[in-house]
Amino acid sequence: MMSTEVTLRLRRPIESTLAAGHPWVWSASVDPFTADPGDIARVVDARGRFVARAVVDGAELAARVWTTRDERLDEGLLSARVRAAAALRDRVVPPDTEAYRLLHGEGDLTPGYVCDVYGRCAVLSVDGAGAAARVDAMVAPLRAALGARGVEALLLRTRRKGEGHEVRALYGDAPDAVIAVKERGMTLRADLTRGQKTGLFLDQRESRWRVRGLARGMRVLNLYAYTGASRRRRGSAARRR
């Protein structure tokens, strides 16, 4: 995606904060500027020295920082970030698990982008107008990493103010119904088009594993969870509670 590079001049001395890893530049911290969401921003200090390269976001949040090195924010950088995130998941995702977060926004130095894997399908969600404007630039890097994991479709899930959310396929086919995925050998049901978050609360994996250990051999009533997260038995899938 081609975009304009604009210069954001800091009016507050936050250079050390950005250098330490803070990913956001608030509008109150820079001189007034004109740019569109998704434009590349060269952040400089009051003397014009390079501080960071970022993506312009919105009115209150001026930009999200991608790098504090004076390097191009191009497909090569995006691919390197996605590969690094995927390599980390190869180390930490437990066995017999096909539902997990591949890309975690600012935590993986990909601000504004979250990508969750559900078996042969993945869901990309975006945060902020800047990330939304540059979705197309993320498709190729993600497709390479996802394809290596057997993922055949990538869905984009976006929020629509006052209207819930919208889901469309960036490539591949969206599932017609709720799908079954494994988490530490347990079968869960995920609704990728109408469910909460991207389908499941994947950050509760370790909590579910802990509860399974505590409840082994017992009958347990789950009153308040988004999903019952029960093991598939006698051919029936886990039921939503």
| Tens of pLDDT, residues 137-163 | 999 999 999 999 999 999 999 876 656
- Residue 164 CA to residue 43 CA, distance in Å, equals 34
Residue 241 has pLDDT above 90, yes or no: no
Spacing of C-alpha 179 from chain mean position? 20
How much is the mean pLDDT over the chain?
Answer: 89
Whole-number pLDDT of residue 232? 44
- Residue 7 CA to residue 22 CA, distance in Å, equals 19
Residue 176 to residues 169, 191, 192: CA-CA distances in angstroms?
A: 12, 10, 9
Average pLDDT over residues 157-175: 82
| Tens of pLDDT, residues 80-139 | 999 999 999 999 999 999 999 999 999 999 999 999 999 999 999 999 999 999 999 999
At 228, the pLDDT band (50, 70, 90 cuts) reads low
Residue of 134, 22, 81, 103 whose CA lies nearest to 43: 22
Average pLDDT over residues 10-37: 95
Would you state the structure tokens that stand for residue 145, as one six-digit string? 């990493």
Helix ranges (H only) for the chain are 15-19, 75-92, 129-133, 135-147, 205-214
Whole-number pLDDT of residue 160? 63
Terminal alpha carbon distance of the chain: 43
Predicted TM-score (pTM) above 0.85: yes
- Residue 214 CA to residue 68 CA, distance in Å, equals 46
- Residue 21 CA to residue 125 CA, distance in Å, equals 22
Residue 219 to residues 43, 153, 211, 216, 233: CA-CA distances in angstroms?
A: 57, 37, 12, 8, 13
Burial zone of 134 (CB within 10 Å; 0-12 exposed, 13-18 middle, 19+ buried)? buried
Could you tell me whether strands 121-126 and 99-104 are parallel, antiparallel, or unpaired per DSSP bridges? unpaired
Whole-number pLDDT of residue 28? 95
